[in-house]
Chains A and B, each alone.
Chain A
């Protein structure tokens, strides 16, 4: 398939699919006469969405949620990068803490929310902590893998050039692990978003997650749907920002280069 037609493809297929899904939704709800309190027709959701977008409270709640996600994400990236690099470079340390990492990784971190609320209160801090904790692991583990994956031949080049440790870090190690960092960040931003919302569901007095709970408690399914759409949109935009950063920072990497130059 020619490249420019390949590029157009998502812009045609995605809207068509969305239209098809919404149409099916509408038809199924109408034909089977589903109770709109349980499953509202798309029209109702659209109305609720328009109404929602006009509410100042929604915007300030969105600002709270987005802040939690971004702060939690940035903390996770910073700490995940630092811990990943240190563990990657100090094998005995990584071996000694590996059991701990595995335990922490498999434990259902969302279950800690009540504790986070007790420790950090009902406001943003406890949600930021959950977002950080969730996003930390993919970032850290990918960075660790990245440090381990640096090519021996490239290290030899730096050695033959008499490079200092600092130079080897800045010119080779840091750059070589960027694709791994971004792979971790792409997972991390999604998990940070989930963390903030779940935190607000379970222990919140503010934010979009809290608005979802309120809408649900007043049995307003259309409004709940509309809020979920807003949350999805936020998640999408945040992901696209990370993706754009990746394109900017590692244009040389297959994941970016192949996409731009071969359309694969």
Chain B
């Protein structure tokens, strides 16, 4: 662990001077509801370097999903700019689809298509991009292996456990080799043991594919276990409260979570959340 783990400097990481994968500047989002305007997210500055794994944490309702949906092009920002590889995601209120093709999204629900087999679900993004059947099957097969679904290629999603479905969803998001993988509490619906296994799997996959990841969770130990950097948000309006570098070498194993260093970081993040009250 490094001295600057408690830096309260949101925008910057130390990954060098190359083009950042993602640059977010002054991003905010309001919702107009029956009860007036909700400032869901406000004044977000965040830069993420290639190969970085950033966890977004915060209590429910602090704007994590809203921020991630804006990064994913699913929701336009009210203010500010979002750039992927220095290219704006939105231009004149229109989504730049060439920027969106660089992204992969994993939702809290696996959202697989029940009418497709596992392999066809994984290959769906490639199908939409016009890849030939043989080509996309071969690629999907590799991905099924990568996420540990060998033997289930021709199963329907309904025949899989929750953890396996989420693996398939991750494989689907990886199929286009996204520059940036966005994950919104992907393991939130899984039991604790499955979740722990999925975290190890995710770590392995991310290392193997050298992906850049933004990972939303409300689970502090999970965020510390997975991330190079933990970004903590506070609600009303959703802002970045604190970022924290996590410097344990990777791959990390589950016993890291029993070390005093690990728990020290977890404690400081939890303390921060309790202060909010």
Contacts and interface: CB of A to CB of B under 8 A. Distances in A.
A151 B127 contact: no
The main secondary structure of chain B at its interface with chain A is loop
B114 interface: yes
B150 interface: no
A109 interface: no
B72 A160 contact: yes
B48 interface: no
Nearest to A163: B128
The main secondary structure of chain A at its interface with chain B is helix
A160 B73 contact: yes
Interface stretch (B18-26, B104-112, B204-212, B235-243): B104-112
Contacts of B203: none
B103 A252 contact: no
Interface in A197-255: 250, 252-254
Contacts of A257: 156, 158
Contact of B114 (A153, A161, A252): A252
B107 A157 contact: yes
A252 B73 CA distance: 31
A176 B107 CA distance: 19
Contacts of B114: 252-253
A162 B97 contact: yes
A156 B158 contact: no
A151 B115 contact: no
Given A153-B109, A171-B124, A252-B156, A162 B100 contact: yes
Interface in A127-167: 151, 153-154, 156-157, 159-163, 167
A257 B156 CA distance: 10
Interface residues of A, number: 21
Contacts of A154: 111, 113
A157 B97 CA distance: 15
Contact of B111 (A153, A162, A171, A253): A153
Contact of B115 (A153, A159, A162, A252): A252
A156 B115 contact: no
A157 B72 CA distance: 11
B181 to A, nearest CB: 11
B113 A171 contact: yes
A257 B115 CA distance: 11
Contacts of B158: 252, 254, 257
B61 interface: no
B128 A171 contact: yes
Contact of A250 (B73, B100, B107, B115): B115
A110 interface: no
B113 A175 contact: yes
B163 interface: no
Contacts of A86: none
A172 interface: yes
Contacts of B107: 153, 156-157
Given A154-B113, A171-B128, A172-B113, A160 B105 contact: yes
B115 A157 contact: no
Nearest to A153: B111
B188 interface: no
A160 B103 contact: yes
Interface string A165-196: 00100011001101000000000000000000
Given A157-B105, A161-B124, 5 more contacts: A151-B111, A157-B113, A161-B125, A162-B101, A252-B115
5 contacts: A154-B111, A160-B73, A161-B125, A252-B115, A253-B114
